[in-house]
Amino acid sequence: MFEKVLFPTDFSEFAQQMLSCITEIPGIRDVVLLNIIDATQYSIQGWTHEPERENAKLLMEEKKTYLEDQGLNVVTYVDAITSGTMSRRILEVAEREHVSLTIMGTHQKTSIDTLLHGSVSYDLLHHMNTHVLIVRQSLPGSDSENKLENICPHIFSKILVPVDFTDLSQETLSVVQGMQGIREIVLLHVVTEGDTKQEIDQEILHARDELEKIQKDLELAGFRGVVHVRVADPVEKIESLAEEENVSLILMAAHEKNWIEGFLHDSTPFSVAKGAKRPVLILRMACEAGENFRRHSGQQDMLHQ
């Protein structure tokens, strides 16, 4: 479904281990690797950055060989920008290459909130016309700090899908059913409405009934489904259930045309992306990228029934 992905890399150890995430994406065929050298600043070699560029090309060939050995087609870019911004160059490559997914790695110690206020990440999140997979490195000192090779094993095997029973949820579940490699789908609805305990209890019963209907449909389609209903803050419950169920991925959809507004207004998908320890995939459904995704996934007819 994500046949062509873009991965901007800085050649860090974490970026190297992110390559294993790329190979885990079901249906992937093509990878665009991008490294950008900031040549707008004076370097120790003066205004030339040619040694840095040549070293980057060597490193890029190593990454290309690794991915090609996994059966993928790889295009590489090593650029040194003398004006403009890195984000603009990333956007240009994404548009030129017609990628459907952009992979972003972020350090747990440097939250995406911090990254958001940097010009590169802000511009990317504001303008990127693709779906985005965010993979976060563990905190220093954590059990997985020295086990980066395991940052996203079988990333689509067990996914958590929050459901609010809107058309967007139905559309998202239809897309999920077209994905390869999924063995188990954890369904979650968080009850936030109701002023009295009786009203909340009624909402819980209704939500469980609806989720069980979805669960049966998923099982008929060959998926194992698990149902959870929680009460209170959706973001906190999504993040905690992801840990409780040990999911490989949290999958959410957003249809804001200008999706940076989601970050600024703390909408649920983007709040989860900022705080979750698990990889988070955000699908942009109501935009040109979403249409491209549905067309590539072969689910267009199903989604419009």
Give the whole-number percent of the chain exceeding pLDDT 70.
74
Residues 137 and 222 in one domain: no
Q: Name beta bridge partners: 138.
A: none
Residues 127 and 202 in one domain: no
Mean predicted confidence (pLDDT) in 112-116: 43
Mean predicted confidence (pLDDT) in 288-301: 40
The per-residue pLDDT for 250 is: 96
Mean predicted confidence (pLDDT) in 96-105: 89
- Please identify, among 109, 132, 150, the residue that sits at the C-terminal boundary of a domain: 150
Residues 41 and 122 in one domain: yes
- Categorize the per-residue pLDDT at 222 as very low, low, confident or very high, splitting at 50, 70 and 90: very high
CB atoms within 10 A of CB 27: 14
- Pick the residue with more confidence: 272 or 194? 272
Identify the H or E element spanning 38.
strand 30-38
Q: Is the pLDDT of residue 47 over 70?
A: no
Q: Is the pLDDT of residue 22 over 50?
A: yes
Q: Is the pLDDT of residue 141 over 60?
A: no
Residues 146 and 215 in one domain: no
* Whole-angstrom distance, CA of residue 57 vs CA of residue 63: 10
The per-residue pLDDT for 295 is: 44
Q: Is the pLDDT of residue 144 over 50?
A: no
Residues 122 and 169 in one domain: no
* Whole-angstrom distance, CA of residue 171 vs CA of residue 142: 37
**Contact present, 188 and 241 (Cβ < 8 Å):** yes
Global pTM reads 0.81
* 252-264 confidence digits (pLDDT tens): 987 655 444 554 4
The per-residue pLDDT for 137 is: 72
Residues 74 and 115 in one domain: yes
Residues 109 and 190 in one domain: no
The per-residue pLDDT for 234 is: 92
CB atoms within 10 A of CB 97: 16
Residues 144 and 13 in one domain: yes
Residues 193 and 146 in one domain: no
Give the chain's domain count.
Answer: 2
The amino acid at 72: L
Residues 146 and 167 in one domain: no
The per-residue pLDDT for 300 is: 35
* 202-221 confidence digits (pLDDT tens): 999 999 999 999 999 999 99
Residues 168 and 145 in one domain: no
| Pair of tokens at residue 267 | 């909408």
The amino acid at 297: S
Q: Three-class SS of residue 84?
A: coil
Q: Could you give the C-alpha distances from 219 to 184, 185, 186, 228, in angstroms and in order? A: 10, 10, 12, 16
Domain that holds residue 191: 158-303
Residues 76 and 170 in one domain: no
Rg (CA), the chain: 20
- Please identify, among 150, 166, 194, the residue that sits at the C-terminal boundary of a domain: 150
What burial class does residue 42 get, using C-beta atoms within 10 Å of its C-beta: 0-12 exposed, 13-18 middle, 19+ buried?
A: exposed
The per-residue pLDDT for 228 is: 97
- Pick the residue with more confidence: 242 or 284? 242
- Categorize the per-residue pLDDT at 48 as very low, low, confident or very high, splitting at 50, 70 and 90: low
Mean predicted confidence (pLDDT) in 63-87: 89
Average confidence score pLDDT of the chain: 79
**Contact present, 88 and 120 (Cβ < 8 Å):** no
Q: Could you give the C-alpha distances from 175 to 219, 221, 283, 304, in angstroms and in order? A: 15, 13, 10, 11
* 155-200 confidence digits (pLDDT tens): 899 999 999 998 888 989 998 988 888 999 999 999 987 778 889 9
Q: Is the pLDDT of residue 113 over 70?
A: no
Mean predicted confidence (pLDDT) in 73-86: 85
- Please identify, among 132, 150, 168, the residue that sits at the C-terminal boundary of a domain: 150
* Whole-angstrom distance, CA of residue 287 vs CA of residue 168: 13
CATH number (domain holding residue 249) = 3.40.50.620
